[in-house]
Amino acid sequence: MELLVASAIGILTAGGLYLVLRLRTFPVILGISLLTYAVNIFLFTSGRLTTGAPPILRDGVNVYSDPLPQALVLTAIVISFGMTAVVVMIGLGAFLGSDDDHVDDQPETDEDHSEGTS
């Protein structure tokens, strides 16, 4: 089970990094979301991967799951959803304002300067 979860974290991280390095706004937003999912799964697995284990310590129980990472992941999911909504609206506003969704500014060429001076 650990190999499956570690592979999922690696695939999400690799896909997220690939999309973050794109030059368009919305693939970058999707890449950041994938990276957020990878971090959330990593935090969740730091509390142990056990099935049917209680989240509290009792007498005679040797295997338990830590509830703190679970609470952190729930908080992170809510925050990442809100931040993704904000970034999507900012990206949409930038796209509608300039009819282009490039992340970086396009360099001006000499033709752009000559058109404005004549």
What percent of the chain lies above the pLDDT cut of 70?
88
Q: Helix, strand, coil proportions of the chain in percent (round to 5)?
A: 70, 0, 30
Q: Which domains does the chain have, with CATH numbers?
A: 2-49+64-105 (1.10.287.3510)
Residue 65 pLDDT more than 80?
no
Q: What is the pLDDT of residues 16-35, one digit of tens each?
A: 999 999 888 899 999 999 99
What is the sign, positive or negative, of the torsion defined by CA atoms of 65, 71, 76, 82?
positive
Predicted structure pTM score: 0.75
